[in-house]
Structure 1
Amino acid sequence: MSAPAGGRRAAAVDPTTTVSRVKAADPRGHWFLLAVGMVLLACALVLNGYVTNVAGETQAPAPATDVSTPELDDVRSGGPVLNLTAGAASSAGPAARTVALTFDDGPDPTWTPQILDVLRRYGAKATFFAVGSKVAQYPDLARRIVAEGHEIGNHTYAHADLTAVSGWRLRLELSLTQKALAGATGLHTTLVRPPYSSTPAAVTLPQWQSLRAVAAEGYLIALTDLDTKDWSQATAARMAKSALPAKGRGAIVMMHDSGGDRSRTVKALDLALRELGRRGYRAVTVTGALGMPSAHQQAGGVERFTGWALNLAQRASGSLTAALSWVLLAAGVLTLARLGLFAALAWMHARRTRRGRRRRGIARWEAPPPVTVIVPAFNEEAGIQATVMSLVQTTYTGELEVIVVDDGSTDATADLAAALGLPNVRVIRQPNGGKPAALNTGIAHARHELLVMVDGDTVFEPATIGHLVRQLADPAVGAVSGNTKVGNRRGMVGRWQHIEYVIGFNLDRRAFELLDCMATVPGAIGAFRRSALVALGGVSVDTLAEDTDLTMALCRSGWRVVYEEKALAWTEAPTSLGQLWKQRYRWCYGTLQAMWKHRRALIERGPFGRRCLGYLALFQVVLPLLAPVVDLMALYNTAVGDPLPVVAVWAGFVVVQALTGWYALRLDGERASALWVLPLQQFVYRQLMYLVVIQSVATAVLGVRLRWHTVRREGTFGGTLPPQAAPQGALAERHPDAAAQP
């Protein structure tokens, strides 16, 4: 890409331009909405987990030791239908040559329709002991069962073993199933069959106790006479044979219309009905076989509405969980792909840089050109002298001018800068107008074409200016991003930011240069052509991220923006989570403003708009907005299931991040020991960062103009630096080639 040529009218820079400061409170209501949304999502996950047997279905009970009581002996020797509601137990069975076919665990979208077709072909009726969660999932099947004259019984909501649950859970299982039936069919049922039950002779003491609890809710309990065991590997013919009563007796026959491959059950049913018809049997419902009224009762209007809402909520939770699973899978793949791609691009950038310098060298100036350094400052007395001294103690041999623009500071910033008494340093005082206004003042007063901008809390290495200016020897380059380092990295917050700067910022900029989509030349260190800035009208006051806004404008104008990893600048990072929140809130909100301002770049020619804006939208907006869902689902899966897969996935991501971080630190000449804080970063720092995005998006959507958030300075680099000393002494030791010139 070549630099823009003449024909574009240069706009004058107005040094008095000020940032509009609209006093408006940050929006707070969205935190309540976020909390409500997370609670609703948690409820949806719990509901879906309950109905899909993650937290609902219990396992089949272990065989109980044989215990005998007179009452239990009467049940074991009686009929399959038990009435325990009148105190004393009574039982009954079907009349002679009457069979009541029953089907458990449905309805199922595959097998229930086939079973209904077979029943209709033979004119037979049956009773379906339905699982409430499946009724809610497939209400049309429940309605078809009723419409075709069959009977529905209660088989609990989540197929739970009633001997293994508490009393409240037992009542909940039965009640939810009734609500699901009411919502789907408008009916309640008086029949129940507990899961894992069989014939009366097989009733254990724990089952007997649970049967009494079920009867206390007003249910008639239907066990079975003949269990076809269609869940086993028996053939269809064997199943059909086991469904035939002996010697003309009546029987209740147990089969299943869900819970696995029921193709043999369908064949067995066809064979059994054919043989029953030949023997003169009639196939009816359970209540029909006993000569009783139907088990169906009309549900009231409230029950129907409640059931409809429950069924809708269950289906919605299932769809939401499925959608989130795919979204989270896509997010994980994208995140890993991004780490891999950017590491590969960074390797290519480093290799190209080394090869270019070794073989050809990059474009060079015939003589070191003059440079103006602009330092916008507002209440920077803690470190302004260290910043200025690091600039004048450069090894750069060209003419150097330093302009400190005091933007209405209320402390001694301007006085301390002027007190240095350096001949090539000018201090300009102006009323407070914001950082863009201070930069525009500096641009207007600069005497040279090449400009370097540095924040008032940042110090340069001696060779930094030379490295920056060397890149501008290429006439197509309009701006150069330097390598920002965290100077105060002793605390945990500082260490986290150090990792983020190296991996998340500097590694990315290597890739961005190759992709020709640099999003930001940081305010802490950047070099520009004055003519390019003037052509844009100076630094815009439209956003709070003036550096991002300016970089995007330069790229859209046709300038190349590159990264110089050897141009080091040490900045003071926030030392507390509160200060970090203020800084990142401003950065994120300003980036959103810049993205919206430059949205037309998406349809312009060239790769910048689609690559840059697409990347920012996906990885800095959409994925952080989904991050709370990731955490919630991880906690949920850990709580209700096997935590090992969750831990394994988390550890895998940390390992990939650590490998990428190791390479990024290696490229920057940093110690890999800094990575020990990376796992801890997942528990506080990561959450803070995505909450910042949520806050910023809410602020933008609500149309609130965010005020400028200042960060308290700690004076990391002290006051005046001693002559010929690099910042903090150790900084000079990092680069033996500190005397390199452009």
Structure 2
Amino acid sequence: MTTPTSSRGRRRAPTRIERAAGRAAALQRPRVILALLLLLALTCVMLLDGYLRAEVGGDQRVRSGADSSEVPDAILDGGPILTFRGGRATTVSVPAKTIALTFDDGPNPTWTPQVLDILRKYDVPGTFFLVGSMVSRYPGIVRTMVEQGNEVGVHTFTHVDLSYQSASRVDREMEQTQLALAGAAGITTTLFRAPYSSETDAIDDYSWPVYQRLGKDGYTSVFVDTDSDDWKRPGVSDIVKWATPKGTQGASVLFHDAGGERSQTIAALPQYIEKMKAKGYTFTTISGVMERQRAADGRAAGGGTPAGPRLQAAHHRATGLTLYEGKALIAAVAVAEWTVPALSVGLAIVGAAVLGRFGMMLVLARRHHRQRNRRRSGWGPAVTGPVSVIVPAYNEKECIANTLQSLARSTHPIEIIVVDDGSTDGTSRIARDAAESLGMTNVRVVRQENAGKPAALNNGVRHASYDIVVMMDGDTVFEPDTVRHLVQPFADPSVGAVAGNAKVGNRTTVIGAWQHIEYVMGFNLDRRMYDLLRCMPTIPGAIGAFRREAVLAVGGMSEDTLAEDTDITIAMHRAGWRVVYQEHARAWTEAPGSLGQLWSQRYRWSYGTMQALWKHRKSLTDRGPSGRFGRVGMPLVVVFQVVTPLFAPLIDVFTAYSMIFVDFRAALLAWLAVLGVQLLCAAYAFRLDREKYRYLLMMPLQQLAYRQMMYLVLIHSCVTALTGGRLRWQKLKRTGEVGTPAGAG
């Protein structure tokens, strides 16, 4: 997570650069929309992939033993081909010694090409009833199928039983499959076979209206009168036997080229074709059967087995909008088919990184805790000399008195320099009055024109009387022992800066509790880890201490980035100074109280951190001890605070995808397992910081709501950075409700 810094805004006099930044800020709304559109696009891809795999309900037969009183007897007792020419329902039977070889549920990338090879070898045509979702996933197979002279029909888009579906659902299933055929092979078809259909005598009062409706739309419904039952995998010999019609009867024979393991079908098909040809049978398509029937009735000529890759009678060339929509569907599916596996790999990498980070934090935080306990004597001789405390303040009338009151109780000698950065609410007067009422003679109030927080801090450093300067925010309160704990590491002459432990004071609200969990985990695990690795990335603006000479040596607080605390911390590392973490030095700060303010604050943190990392990118090639941050810290920060959080939404997207489309229980258990790991880490951090565990009850809700918002903030920041936008400081509204907790210190 991004480490907390000061959350107060600073306004400066409008300069040419600031006016340019203002114009760029006006472009932030489109960037938010772009970030949301990216997330929406990913969600749509996942939904499309799930829909194509027909894993959303409905893929089961819902009819059982329904009445058929409304179905004409002529239809129930008729042949396997049902037409509605002229608006009248009629059936057509397959002529004697003729086989219409039909296949259901394809195409399948493993079995369908093998079926096509067998049909081509024996010069036998087939009629394939295709599932639209499979057509859109494997368009090349369908194209080959049609080019070889085979016939195709609609088997719905998601293999759903249409009997109990609404009229709009029926239309959608048919239209989507036709679009898939248009995009894959440039055709549409008039043939239809309902999933789970069998012989015409199985038509009931629920399915009959569907066939009538489709008949009016020009569809020919195809049934079965001889079923190989190959889906049962009874053995090759039984498949061949069950697919053989009695005597010399013609038959519409059902095989499957998809929907399961079809090796027995592949083995049985050549034997079946050879057997039937030996008995004098010919093979044709459903259209061929109908042409022969029309020829026999004297209404049409032609028929017979199609020769070569000509267009079947049931096929119509797709043109116009249908063709383009079909191609768009195939293209969208191709994107989904490529994206989902790629995201799966990304998920595995991100998941491994997240779990690895948790494991590393636990191990290193525990080691850090033990090392600090072993050196209770401190960092060397006790640091007892006075230090300068710098408090930059801009319109802090609600908080400044509480801040000074907390410093008045300090057990370490201090001087206090309040730098009023052009406040317009009487902050400097309130500070003087508070100091006078508290009897504080060690307070100086320095006023300057509004120039921003970095300038205020640099001004305070120039006015400091002592070699060690403590920097805090005007909305922060210290415990009595905070300064004393904070400055002890300076007994080590190699230490140039010390990071304190900032804590959320207004944690009674839901938003405050979420931030409290985030702060405790961040400081007590992340900071301990970075401290042990000697690559601390940030000294929080709410509480940090510096050697004055080190600050001046690196040029003071820079205005180059919006994360001046991260900027100077990295600069201290590169200058050869050691930066450490002092967990016992606690500061209480007021966290944003609304989602809007929280977004603004975290947006600036994320963007400012990216600015600082980019500014110090050359640290990657720094040599010697001063290059440790570039070798260790920079990669860790980039991976754990930018890259991993940026792609972490994959976990949530795939969790939702799995719950909806795959296995709800397994996905839920996986999500709970990850939550359990996070709870374990949080509980350990709370234990180290002696915090109350009851706040962890908010963690599941934090994972469902708060974490998603932080992801969007980071994505928004990345989009801003990549598009060259700039941000300005934004003042957050304060209430002044945070004071030093009772008994603290």
- TM-score, reference length from structure 2: 0.88
* Mapping 1:182-331, distance limit 5 Å: 182-292=182-292, 294-331=313-350
Q: How far is the alpha carbon of 1:629 from its aligned partner?
A: 5.8
State the aligned residue count: 703
Are 2:391 and 1:372 equivalent residues in the alignment?
A: no
Cα distance per residue 1:626-652 (max 9 Å; x no partner): 466655555566566765445434433
Q: How far is the alpha carbon of 1:426 from its aligned partner?
A: 2.4
**Secondary structure in 2 aligned to 1:537?**
coil
Residue 13 of structure 2 contacts residue 450 of structure 2 at CA under 8 Å; is this kept in 1?
A: no
Give the stretch that moved more between structures: 268-277 or 362-371: 362-371
**Secondary structure in 2 aligned to 1:105?**
strand
Counterpart in 2 of 1:381?
A: 397
Tell me how far apart the structure 1 counterparts of residues 124 and 54 of structure 2 sit (CA, whole Å): 32
Are 2:480 and 1:462 equivalent residues in the alignment?
A: yes
Q: How far is the alpha carbon of 1:91 from its aligned partner?
A: 1.6
List gaps (5 residues or longer) in structure 2. 1-11, 293-302, 304-312
Give the stretch that moved more between structures: 621-630 or 329-338: 621-630
Counterpart in 1 of 2:164?
A: 164
Q: 1:166 to 1:644 in 2, by over 3 A?
A: same
**Secondary structure in 1 aligned to 2:129?**
strand
Counterpart in 2 of 1:46?
A: 47
Give the stretch that moved more between structures: 102-111 or 708-717: 708-717
Specify the code of the residue in structure 2 equivalent to 1:394: S
Counterpart in 2 of 1:347?
A: 366
Residue 95 of structure 1 contacts residue 290 of structure 1 at CA under 8 Å; is this kept in 2?
A: no
Residue 56 of structure 1 contacts residue 159 of structure 1 at CA under 8 Å; is this kept in 2?
A: no
**Secondary structure in 2 aligned to 1:206?**
coil
Give the stretch that moved more between structures: 131-140 or 283-292: 283-292
Tell me how far apart the structure 2 counterparts of residues 450 and 256 of structure 1 sit (CA, whole Å): 81
Counterpart in 2 of 1:3?
A: none
Q: How far is the alpha carbon of 1:687 from its aligned partner?
A: 3.4
Q: 1:72 to 1:621 in 2, by over 3 A?
A: farther
Residue 393 of structure 2 contacts residue 419 of structure 2 at CA under 8 Å; is this kept in 1?
A: yes
Cα distance per residue 1:676-730 (max 9 Å; x no partner): 2222323443333233323333333333331211122322357xxxxxxxx4542
Give the stretch that moved more between structures: 342-351 or 301-310: 301-310
Counterpart in 2 of 1:450?
A: 468
Residue 135 of structure 2 contacts residue 181 of structure 2 at CA under 8 Å; is this kept in 1?
A: yes
Picking from 668, 674, 690, the partner of 1:669 is 690
Cα distance per residue 1:638-671 (max 9 Å; x no partner): 5667654454344333333222222111111211
Specify the code of the residue in structure 1 equivalent to 2:60: Q
Picking from 480, 491, 497, the partner of 1:479 is 497
Q: 1:704 to 1:36 in 2, by over 3 A?
A: closer
Q: How far is the alpha carbon of 1:487 from its aligned partner?
A: 2.3
Counterpart in 1 of 2:713?
A: 692
Picking from 406, 412, 433, the partner of 2:420 is 406
Cα distance per residue 1:61-104 (max 9 Å; x no partner): 443145345x5321222111111233332222222222111111
Picking from 617, 621, 642, the partner of 2:642 is 621
Counterpart in 2 of 1:547?
A: 565
Specify the code of the residue in structure 1 equivalent to 2:381: W
Are 2:678 and 1:657 equivalent residues in the alignment?
A: yes
**Secondary structure in 1 aligned to 2:254?**
strand
Residue 17 of structure 1 contacts residue 437 of structure 1 at CA under 8 Å; is this kept in 2?
A: no
Tell me how far apart the structure 2 counterparts of residues 36 and 338 of structure 1 sit (CA, whole Å): 29
Q: 1:75 to 1:604 in 2, by over 3 A?
A: farther
Picking from 549, 559, 564, the partner of 2:582 is 564
**Secondary structure in 2 aligned to 1:669?**
coil
Q: How far is the alpha carbon of 1:121 from its aligned partner?
A: 2.0
Tell me how far apart the structure 2 counterparts of residues 342 and 30 of structure 1 sit (CA, whole Å): 34
Tell me how far apart the structure 2 counterparts of residues 296 and 367 of structure 1 sit (CA, whole Å): 90
Tell me how far apart the structure 1 counterparts of residues 640 and 532 of structure 2 sit (CA, whole Å): 18
Are 2:452 and 1:431 equivalent residues in the alignment?
A: no
**Secondary structure in 1 aligned to 2:261?**
coil
Cα distance per residue 1:246-299 (max 9 Å; x no partner): 222221211011111111101111111111122122222222234356222222
Are 2:431 and 1:417 equivalent residues in the alignment?
A: yes
Counterpart in 1 of 2:309?
A: none
Residue 180 of structure 1 contacts residue 311 of structure 1 at CA under 8 Å; is this kept in 2?
A: yes
Tell me how far apart the structure 2 counterparts of residues 660 and 406 of structure 1 sit (CA, whole Å): 40
Cα distance per residue 1:529-575 (max 9 Å; x no partner): 12211111111111111111111111222222111111112222233
Q: How far is the alpha carbon of 1:178 from its aligned partner?
A: 1.7
Counterpart in 2 of 1:602?
A: 620
Tell me how far apart the structure 2 counterparts of residues 518 and 664 of structure 1 sit (CA, whole Å): 18
Tell me how far apart the structure 1 counterparts of residues 39 and 493 of structure 2 sit (CA, whole Å): 52
Counterpart in 2 of 1:9?
A: none
Cα distance per residue 1:437-493 (max 9 Å; x no partner): 111112222232222112222222222222222111112221111111222322232
Residue 61 of structure 1 contacts residue 196 of structure 1 at CA under 8 Å; is this kept in 2?
A: no
Q: 1:57 to 1:29 in 2, by over 3 A?
A: same
Q: 1:197 to 1:679 in 2, by over 3 A?
A: same
Specify the code of the residue in structure 1 equivalent to 2:155: H
Counterpart in 2 of 1:512?
A: 530
Residue 383 of structure 2 contacts residue 488 of structure 2 at CA under 8 Å; is this kept in 1?
A: no
Cα distance per residue 1:82-134 (max 9 Å; x no partner): 11233332222222222111111111111111112212222222111122222
Q: How far is the alpha carbon of 1:143 from its aligned partner?
A: 1.6
Give the stretch that moved more between structures: 218-227 or 414-423: 414-423
Q: 1:628 to 1:640 in 2, by over 3 A?
A: same
Tell me how far apart the structure 2 counterparts of residues 443 and 249 of structure 1 sit (CA, whole Å): 102
Tell me how far apart the structure 2 counterparts of residues 390 and 729 of structure 1 sit (CA, whole Å): 12
Tell me how far apart the structure 2 counterparts of residues 547 and 286 of structure 1 sit (CA, whole Å): 76
Specify the code of the residue in structure 2 equivalent to 1:564: Q
Cα distance per residue 1:300-327 (max 9 Å; x no partner): 2432222111111122223323333443
Tell me how far apart the structure 1 counterparts of residues 246 and 207 of structure 2 sit (CA, whole Å): 28
Residue 373 of structure 1 contacts residue 403 of structure 1 at CA under 8 Å; is this kept in 2?
A: yes
**Secondary structure in 1 aligned to 2:163?**
coil
Q: How far is the alpha carbon of 1:342 from its aligned partner?
A: 1.0
Are 2:731 and 1:730 equivalent residues in the alignment?
A: no
Residue 50 of structure 1 contacts residue 56 of structure 1 at CA under 8 Å; is this kept in 2?
A: no
Q: How far is the alpha carbon of 1:510 from its aligned partner?
A: 0.7
Specify the code of the residue in structure 1 equivalent to 2:635: G
Counterpart in 2 of 1:735?
A: none
Cα distance per residue 1:558-614 (max 9 Å; x no partner): 222111111112222233333333322322221121122112223434442354333
Cα distance per residue 1:162-221 (max 9 Å; x no partner): 213221211222222222112121222222211111122333333333222221220122
Q: 1:227 to 1:458 in 2, by over 3 A?
A: same
Specify the code of the residue in structure 2 equivalent to 1:31: V
**Secondary structure in 1 aligned to 2:101?**
strand
Q: 1:680 to 1:68 in 2, by over 3 A?
A: closer
Specify the code of the residue in structure 2 equivalent to 1:259: G
Residue 582 of structure 1 contacts residue 710 of structure 1 at CA under 8 Å; is this kept in 2?
A: no
Residue 132 of structure 2 contacts residue 177 of structure 2 at CA under 8 Å; is this kept in 1?
A: yes
Counterpart in 2 of 1:391?
A: 407
- Percent identical among aligned pairs is 47
Q: 1:177 to 1:489 in 2, by over 3 A?
A: closer
Q: 1:508 to 1:99 in 2, by over 3 A?
A: same
Q: How far is the alpha carbon of 1:518 from its aligned partner?
A: 1.0
Q: 1:42 to 1:566 in 2, by over 3 A?
A: closer
Specify the code of the residue in structure 1 equivalent to 2:59: T
Residue 85 of structure 1 contacts residue 219 of structure 1 at CA under 8 Å; is this kept in 2?
A: no
Tell me how far apart the structure 1 counterparts of residues 546 and 190 of structure 2 sit (CA, whole Å): 82
Give the stretch that moved more between structures: 703-712 or 538-547: 703-712
**Secondary structure in 2 aligned to 1:489?**
coil
**Secondary structure in 2 aligned to 1:648?**
helix
